[in-house]
A = this chain, B = another copy of it.
Amino acid sequence: MAKLEEKEISKKIIFEGRLLKVRVDTVKLQSGVEATREVVEHPGAVAVIAITQDDELVLVRQFRQPAGEVLIEIPAGVPEKNEAGEAAARRELEEETGYYAKNIKKVWAGYSSPGYSSEVIQFFLATDMNLMKQHPDEDEFVEVELVDIDACLDLLKTGQINDNKTMIGILIADLARKGEL
């Protein structure tokens, strides 16, 4: 076994939900000791850094049950079965905000919390947009807000934005407008 790797002894599925699976895995460490790992299996997500012609970022406000509060976030969601990341990003952007992006490209992908979850978020940069009509999922209520990128940086600094993917989205938007991406 390669250095740093852990040998899997067993996987026990505890819960199979609509979105999540939860497992408790037993692994053998390099030292020979056995340890357990609590793992959430998540199908992965897409997030959209959507920038208007006026250098505004498209943000959404929505209530998040796990947080127990309304958060300001970049548009995001989970791809449908067999749906490619780019198609999912276009769809989520349009459903949640009403914007159709003529130009969309993947700029990055990262684990949201690899200590316990398999979720990878794919980040897309969307530009050259037309405003169509918002049509969120029937179990989703979102408010759309256009915020200048400098004002977004202020929202980060004053603690009004506290979502990691949105932090990444704002910093990427800032790099993109400076041509540093």
Task: Give A residues with C-beta under 8 Å from B.
Answer: 2-6, 8, 14-15, 17-20, 22, 24-25, 27, 29-31, 33, 35-42, 45, 61-68, 70-71, 73, 76, 78, 108-121, 138-139, 141-143, 156, 159, 161-168, 171
Contacts and interface: CB of A to CB of B under 8 A. Distances in A.
A114 B64 contact: yes
Contact of A71 (B42, B108, B111, B168): B111
Protomer copies: 2
B4 A63 contact: yes
Contact of A66 (B14, B39, B166): B39
Contact of A38 (B17, B35, B62, B163): B17
Nearest to A29: B139
A136 B63 CA distance: 38
Given A35-B139, A38-B17, A65 B27 contact: yes
Given A108-B156, A162-B120, A114 B66 contact: yes
Contacts of A143: 3-4
A59 to B, nearest CB: 14
A65 B45 contact: no
B36 A18 contact: yes
Contacts of A4: 61-63, 70, 141-143
8 contacts: A2-B70, A4-B70, A17-B24, A18-B38, A66-B117, A71-B114, A111-B162, A112-B113
